[in-house]
Amino acid sequence: MNVKCIVCHGSTEKNFTASPGLGACRGCHAEQVAQAQKSKGKEGKSCPLPRGVLAAAGEPDKWVKGVCRYCGAGCGVYTGVKGGRVVAVKGDKDNWNKGFLCLKGNFLPAILYASDRLQYPLLRKGNKFVRISWDQAMTVMVDKFHDSIRTNGPNSVAFYGSGQSYTEESYFINKLFKGGLGTNNIDGNPRLC
């Protein structure tokens, strides 16, 4: 598989010229990635991406059409699957994004399988986080919501979710927070990108 980083290689498919400098993968006020590679990218520039993020896992067995759910843009993607795991992603040229993906979209497999990705609920006990069951996590959240609403009113709670929630998910969240909890504090984070 031929994997190219858009930071080094730019979006040259439409004859754009791109030669960003170090730190192009981050916001103007963000700090540099902590575990940046020491290796050099194209033209000898230091690579600002975490080590191994571009490692290819082989050619996918199949490509599955979908939508990137990282922000509210709704870019079309094809997800490459091999052995039941996502190993690659590419933009859908028939979608509004014309096959182009942002850095987040390009690295969805790396995000999905990141070693520090949260996979189960954790509860703070003193200075440490302790693993708890999903049932315990739901009980803790319900209790915290109940205490906050009882003490400070319904506008003391909020929901911050995905800009790519399905219609049914958005309907449920609106019913729960507006109708059930009595707050209009709902945001779907469409400004993430």
pLDDT of residue 49: 52
Model confidence at 192, pLDDT cuts 50, 70, 90, reads low
In whole angstroms, give the CA distance from residue 36 to residue 55.
15
Contact 186, 172 (CB under 8 A): no
Domain 58-117: assigned CATH number:
2.20.25.90
Q: Which residue spans of the chain are classified as CATH 2.20.25.90?
A: 58-117
Question: What are the tens digits of pLDDT across the range 116-171?
Answer: 888 899 999 999 999 999 999 999 999 999 999 999 999 999 988 776 677 788 88
Contact 70, 104 (CB under 8 A): yes
Model confidence at 184, pLDDT cuts 50, 70, 90, reads very high
Question: What are the tens digits of pLDDT across the range 10-56?
Answer: 443 443 334 444 444 444 343 333 333 444 455 555 555 554 444 44
In whole angstroms, give the CA distance from residue 160 to residue 177.
11
